[in-house]
Amino acid sequence: MLPFKLVYHERYDLHFGAHIFPAIKYRLIRERLLGSGLASEEDFLEPAPVSREQLLLAHTEEWITKLERGTLSYQEVLKLEVPYSRRMIEAVFLAAGGTLLAGRQALGDGACFNIGGGFHHAFAGHGEGFCAVNDVAVAIRALQREGLVRKALVVDCDVHHGNGTAAIFSGDREVFTLSIHHFNNYPAVKPPSTIDIHLEDGVGDEEYLARLRPAYEAAVLGFRPEIVFYVAGVDPYEDDQLGGLSLTKEGLYERDRLVFDIALRKHVPVVVTLAGGYARCTDDTVALHVQTAEALRDSMKEWARRW
């Protein structure tokens, strides 16, 4: 058994059809975890969808109503860049429920891994870039409302700037947002995070880790969060179709270990969400997401004894 729980629902599939976002990856990741022997059925938890009340902690009522009723304008669907469907909305509500469940679980276990979520381009009042609901924002607001945490840190390592998350938590002193991303990439407009690390084209392992480590470590030590939400996109990978950075498989493992080790060493629980990954071969994307679970296992083995 793994030293942490995995959160998954068979209806996580976003049903995008023939699309560059490989929504099939969620099922394939689960199958790879089980088939490799890394995980067992006992390691999995199944989430329920978040409630409307919980969604409204991070989103406007107008936006949630549009998602529920399917009354998005043509321009709003274009901004989402994915086809609207009831099954897609069911999936994102479940993914948000999964991130919230992972947050609650991590507070007790030290870490939890949602095989989904990380939809960081969703703003309070609209969706963008394949993201309709900002599951991390909803989870943080819900945990705060329940009195389980006061201060949360979001470390966003997707290759694309976490614009929706930055905007939702702008000016909020209880949530620290850190985004490390390819600067000359989507989105064109990047609302300021608490810390933004803008990377130039083609940055590789060494520079990436050298830029991330001091900023993230200072955030954990200085801000003293009660929980870390890790947006663990694997699209910084050197063969990613929507990337622009040049991280290797080994570099991504070191990135994951860095995020986990710094938090767990300071007894800060970690929630993992997947976010993006668009490698030319879907199997590479799946393997990289599974590698993040392996990195969490390795970090937990090292630090759990001190938890």
Domain residue ranges in the chain: 5-306
DSSP SS3 for 161? coil
Bridge partner residues of 45 (DSSP): 7
What angle in degrees, to the nearest 10, is found between the helix axes of 86-109 and 135-145?
A: 50
Q: What CATH homologous superfamily does 5-306 map to?
A: Histone deacetylase domain (3.40.800.20)
Place of tokens 């949630």: 64
**Nearest of 229, 102, 236 to residue 165 by alpha carbon:** 229
Contacts within 8 Å (CB) and 24+ apart, 304-307:
304/3, 304/110, 304/264, 306/265, 306/267, 307/110, 307/264, 307/267
Tally of CA atoms within 13 A in the half-sphere of 185 that contains its CB: 24
Predicted local confidence at residue 83, as pLDDT: 87
Question: Tokens 């060494």 label which residue?
Answer: 206
Say what the pLDDT of residue 304 is: 67
The token pair at 131 is 């993201």
Q: Which residues pair with 155 in a beta bridge?
A: 178, 230
192: CB partners within 8 A, 6+ apart: 166, 170
Q: What is the pTM (predicted TM-score) of this model? A: 0.96
> Is the CA virtual torsion 233, 251, 302, 267 positive or negative?
negative
Q: Between residues 72 and 14, which one has the greater pLDDT? A: 72
Model confidence pLDDT, tens digit, residues 245-278: 999 999 999 999 999 999 999 999 999 999 999 9
Per-residue pLDDT of 189-235, as tens digits, reads 999 999 999 999 999 999 999 999 999 999 999 999 999 999 999 99
Looking at every residue in the chain, the average pLDDT score rounds to 96
